[in-house]
Structure formats: structure tokens, C-alpha cells
Amino acid sequence: MFDKQQRKLKRSARLISVLSKYGFKDIISRMGKKPEDNSGQSDEIISKGTVYERIRLVLEELGPTFVKLGQTFSNREDLLPPELIQELQKLQDRVEVVDMNVEEILENEFNISIKDHFSEIISKPLATASIAQVYKATMITGEEVILKIKKPDVLTIIEDDLLLIKDLVKLISTYSEIGSKLNLKQAIATFEKSLLEEVSLVNERNNIKQFALNFKNNKETYVPIVYDEFSNNNILCMEFIDGIKVTDKTELLNNNIDPVIVSEVGLRLFVSQILDYGFFHADPHAGNILVKKNGKIVFIDFGAVGKIQPNDKEILESLIVAFVAKNSHKIVRYLKKMAVSYEIPDERRFENDVEEVLNFVHSTSLKDIDPNVIINKMKDVLKDNQLYMPDYFYLLFKGIGLIEGVGRTINPDLDIVKSLHPYTKKIFARKVSPKKLFKTGMNFTDNVDEIPRELRSVLQKLDDNKFTISSEIKNIEKTNQLIKSSIINLVLAMVLGANIIATAIVFVSESGPRIGEISLIAVLGFLFSVFLIVVLLLRITRK
């Protein structure tokens, strides 16, 4: 506990020094600390640039955790001003290579003798990042692998930085009028969760395995093999991919690989990750996508992924259908359903803003549509109408922008809208499938079971001949009609529920006359269910 407090004090001193250096002495005063007396060199730095430029410089100097924080918020136009967003997008990791004795680390982590398992380990890192360094090695069985090894004490540093970030957010939310209106606490909680997941190599291993499971029958992509016997929370051992960088058009052509096909397949795979599985690569930039010599696409670095819950995925699908159908009213409805919270000042203005985006999209040639322009327009709409969307929504925006940018590099005519067409058809097919209608019917009958107690009491009194009405004469006929209509609707709903259950039982059985592989009785039962649903909807909407 004492050691943890010491670390926090040390990092706090570092934070105060950097803030003071770049002219943020007012923030230090709010913290109840005394600003450091800096040299003239600091004054020269302070005199340059806007406050937003100095914020970026502060983040870069404070190190990897703060840089990642800035990079994460660089696509949150709903929270930050455009000038700050522009500066945050310039953030670059300044990562130093750490000396590591890879052989010693492996022997200590797995209690093995290196010579029994590896024939060669290259001591110079193949790549280095803020959390880990990557080394190339060859196993005694001949397989080439990479070893992703977490840097020493990186988790401790990140935990200390997160404590400081939380203190800063508390300060900004308390003493800044703008900060108090922003949902910074929730945003930082999400950043913390994402960063701690990224620092866990067990989590990355599980992500790779999930991706492999999702695409096990897909012939257009390849997932590297993970070697569990040499993987834990500090080390990830996986197959080395001798691939071509996806944007290296010359090398692709030299290997008889069509860049146009690569761009279309890559985009299609990313859309499939989102709409088929709700589990997608959160950082699909050019450095994280390789192409094998056989043309298969390989996504690497699964430290950060986006996850969409089934209910949210269903809403997202409906949103896409509404977008394709140019239905602004439904788009507004689904955006509100997806939102974590919203405080829309003017509903009519919100719908008009969405309508303007739709008009822009459908008045522009498909070939000339820039998804980033559309994404930025939608972000503006969400910000102006105070909708706070779930985190995966912003990861989607970022991912689509990155993957589309990669695709356009090797195929300027890439059409992202065209890539969505097959999925819109699949969504339509799913929504009218017997399985979906069966589920809808079951939900409907479940809701029947939740009839208010007052109506149940009315029905019971009717059955016991104890029902009395105290009302003016002019209301008796209307009340009786309402009761009769409610009872008829209830009976129809019960018949519908029974018919759906019976149809499902017949559907899975193999007896009776059939049309192809489908039971004729099940088809008739399905049609009867549709008829009952239509009748019920008409009766409800009419009343």
C-alpha cells in the first residue's frame, strides 16, 4: 500500500511538472499544488501554439497511457471541440525499445529449457509498442513464430496513470463548466476497461481464437495459429505470417494478386465481422492487415476488438435497413434505441438533420461517396442533438473509416455501399423468416401473460357475474364495446400462440405431407399465424 502511494506521488509530481511546463498552472492551482518554477526554455514552449496544441504536447510527454487516451478520444466529436480533435489526431507513440533477455524470460515463465523447444530466437525486436515487444523465433520443429512479450512493469505504470487520469477528470468535471456537462466519467471508465483488456495477452489470445471460430469455414481469410504451450498473460506465441502489406500494390501485382479483389474482400470481411458476428477488429489500419501469397487476407493484433451485444446488433441491422430505405423517421427511432442516453432539444430538428444526411448520400454518385464525410456528418448530428452512443458505435465509425481508407489506397473505385447490399438482403430475409416470426409470436404470447392485473380482475368479475359499472349513461356502450374488443383480442392472441407452438412442433417433425423438405402442415400453420398477426394488428391500430 505504501509503495503504491509512493508511486502515485511520483507520477503526480511528474504530472505537475509537465502541466507547469506547458502553461497549465491554473489546473495545478485547482489541484491545490504549487507550480514549479520552470526555466526560460519552458516559457519559450508555452509561448508557442494554441491551448489545444499544448494539450497534445502534454499527452505526448506524459507517455504511452496518455497518448492512448488522446488517440481514443480523437474520434469523440460528441465530447470534444473540433480544434482539440484535430490535435489529438496528430498524436504519435514515442516508444522506446526495452532490453529484454527473451530466452531467460521464456525459461522463467514456462519452466523450460530453450534448446529443447527453440532452434533460434532473434534478439532484436521485430516491432515495439507501448505495451509489448515482438520477436521472431524458430521452433525446433521448424515452425516460424512470433513472441509478443509484455514489457516489465507495464501494468503497474498503466494502473498509476489511470489513477492520475481519474483525478484529472474529477477536477475538470468539478471546476470546468464545459467539463461538468460532458459524460467524461463514463468515457474514462470505458477507456480503462479497453486498456486493461489490451494489456492482457490472455485476452488477445482469446480474441484470436474467437475470430478463428467465427471464420473457420471462410476461404477468404486466414487466422494465425496460437501456441498455447508458450502463451500466458505475459507472452503470446503465435504463427509468423510471411505476408504482403495490404497497401503494397506493387508487391501484390508481383505475386499475381489483384489489388481490386483484395480491397473488396477486405471490406467484405470487415462488414461480416460486424453484421454476422458482432465481434470486429477495432484497429484495422494498413499495418494490421497482411495478404498471404495465396491471396488470403490476414488480420493481426487483436489486442483491441469491438463487441456488439445481440440486441444491439439487431437494432444496428434495422438501422442499416432504414438507411438503405431512406426512412429518416425510423433512423431516428433506432438511434434513440441504441443511445446510452440522450437529451434531444428538438425532435423535429433531429429528424431534419438525419434527412439532410440521407439526401446527401442518395444525391451523390456511389463511386464518389466518401464514408468519412458521411461518418463526420452523422457525428455532427449526434453531437448537435445530444445523443451519447455506446462505445462500439464509435469503434465502428473508426474501423469503417480505416478499412475504407486502406481499400481506397489500392482501389480508388472501392464502393462501400455495394459491399453492404448482400447484407441488407440477408437482414431482410432474416426478418421475414419463419424462425424470426416464430420468435416474434412467442414474444407476443409472452406479453399476453403480462396483462395488467386490472384487466384480469375485470375478466374474473365478468366470469363470476359480479361486474358492475358506475358511469354516466353515455359511456356504457363505449365501455362495453371496449371490453368485448379486449376479450376478442385476447382470444385471438391465445389462438395465435397455440398455433405457433403447434407449427413449430410440426416443423421439426418428419411426418405428414411435405413440400420439398418442409412440412405442408407447417407451411399452412405459418400462413395462418401470419393471418392472425395481421388481423390483430389491424384491430389494435383501428382502435
C-alpha cell at 299: 488480420
User: Quick one: CA torsion of 209, 210, 215, 220, rounded to 10 degrees?
Assistant: -60
Distance CA 392, CA 386 (A): 18
Taking a C-beta distance cutoff of 8 angstroms, is the pair 256, 216 a contact? no
Distance CA 513, CA 510 (A): 9
Question: What is the per-residue pLDDT for 364?
Answer: 65
Which sign does the torsion angle of CA 469, 475, 476, 477 carry? negative
Instruction: Tell me the CB-side half-sphere exposure of residue 286, using CA atoms within 13 A.
Output: 12
Distance CA 275, CA 59 (A): 35
C-alpha cell at 283: 484497429
Instruction: Tell me the CB-side half-sphere exposure of residue 106, using CA atoms within 13 A.
Output: 24
Which sign does the torsion angle of CA 214, 216, 222, 225 carry? positive
- Cβ contacts of residue 10 below 8 Å, gap of 6+? none
Distance CA 522, CA 70 (A): 57
Question: What is the per-residue pLDDT for 280?
Answer: 94
Question: What is the per-residue pLDDT for 15?
Answer: 81
Query: Alpha helices, DSSP H only, in 36-94?
Result: 40-46, 51-62, 64-73, 82-88
- From first to last of its 543 residues, the chain has per-residue pLDDT tens of 556 677 777 777 888 888 888 887 766 666 555 555 444 444 444 546 788 888 888 888 888 888 888 888 887 776 778 888 888 888 766 677 889 999 999 999 999 999 999 999 999 999 888 889 999 999 999 999 999 999 988 888 888 888 888 877 877 766 665 555 566 777 788 888 888 888 999 999 999 999 999 999 999 999 999 999 999 999 999 999 999 999 999 999 999 999 999 999 998 899 899 989 999 999 898 889 999 999 999 999 998 899 999 889 888 888 888 887 788 899 999 999 998 888 888 888 999 999 988 888 777 655 666 777 888 888 888 888 888 888 888 888 888 888 888 888 898 887 776 666 777 777 766 655 555 555 555 555 555 555 455 455 555 656 666 556 554 545 566 666 777 777 777 777 777 777 777 776 666 555 667 666 667 777 777 788 788 787 777 777 665
313, 447, 533 from 442: Cα distances, Å: 20, 9, 12
Distance CA 439, CA 500 (A): 9
C-alpha cell at 302: 487483436
Tell me which H or E stretch contains 120: strand 118-121
Burial of 376 (0-12, 13-18, 19+ CB in 10 A): middle
Query: Alpha helices, DSSP H only, in 411-451?
Result: 416-431, 434-448
Taking a C-beta distance cutoff of 8 angstroms, is the pair 119, 138 a contact? yes
Question: What is the per-residue pLDDT for 70?
Answer: 86
Question: What is the per-residue pLDDT for 455?
Answer: 56
Measured in Å, how far apart are the chain's first and last C-alpha atoms? 67
Distance CA 500, CA 504 (A): 6
Phi, psi of 147 (to 5 degrees): -115, 110
Distance CA 129, CA 145 (A): 18
What residues does 257 pair with on adjacent strands?
Answer: none
Tell me which H or E stretch contains 320: helix 310-324
Which amino acid is it at 365? S
Question: What is the per-residue pLDDT for 41?
Answer: 43
C-alpha cell at 233: 498473460
Distance CA 242, CA 248 (A): 14
What residues does 280 pair with on adjacent strands?
Answer: 306
9, 15, 25 from 172: Cα distances, Å: 20, 15, 14
Burial of 300 (0-12, 13-18, 19+ CB in 10 A): middle
453-457 — which CB contacts under 8 Å span 24+ positions? 455/486
C-alpha cell at 255: 505475386
Distance CA 102, CA 106 (A): 6
C-alpha cell at 136: 521472431
Nearest to 211 by CA among 285, 288, 269, 127: 269
